[in-house]
Amino acid sequence: MHKTVIAVSMAAMAWAQSAAAQPVPTSLYVLVEDVDAAGSACGLTAEVERSAIRSSMRYNRISESTDPDSTPEVYVNTNTLQISGGLCVTSYMVSIRQFVPADAPRPYGEFMYCEEGGLLSGANHGDRVSGSIKTAFDRCLSRIQDKAAAIRPN
């Protein structure tokens, strides 16, 4: 068992090193979690969040994959609290990640290209949240490009 874990860990590290050396992915699967009831009441929708990511992907010439198993994915999650007086507080997280396969039925690992997020408050702030999600995605892409440039030999 111990040797298997080490072998899988070494394979995951080798895969992660090769993935980290890659430029920004050219194709991403888009996974946006459903918006909770408080988020809906505050003007958030999963479709608007998905549209913000897709808009940035088009601008950055990244195609959308329909296969979650063979390409990295962009993952978006929001959580909202609705406070009295219509005030809403929303946390958002955007990550670009790739799952590292292992021999079935063993679990697999995850390579995180980047993760960005934040916290917003206000009344009916769905547009601000979707704009912040797009900005977080753009920051993720920039971080990946910076990492890839730092690794490349001159």
User: What would the pLDDT profile of 125-148 be if each residue is shown by its tens digit?
Assistant: 888 999 999 999 999 999 888 877
Say what the pLDDT of residue 110 is: 80
Domains and their CATH numbers in the chain: 2-151 (3.30.160)
Mean pLDDT is lowest, of 32-41, 66-75, 87-96, for 66-75
d(CA 74, CA 57): 10
Write down the pTM of the prediction.
0.78
Query: Does pLDDT of 67 surpass 80?
Result: yes
Say what the pLDDT of residue 106 is: 61
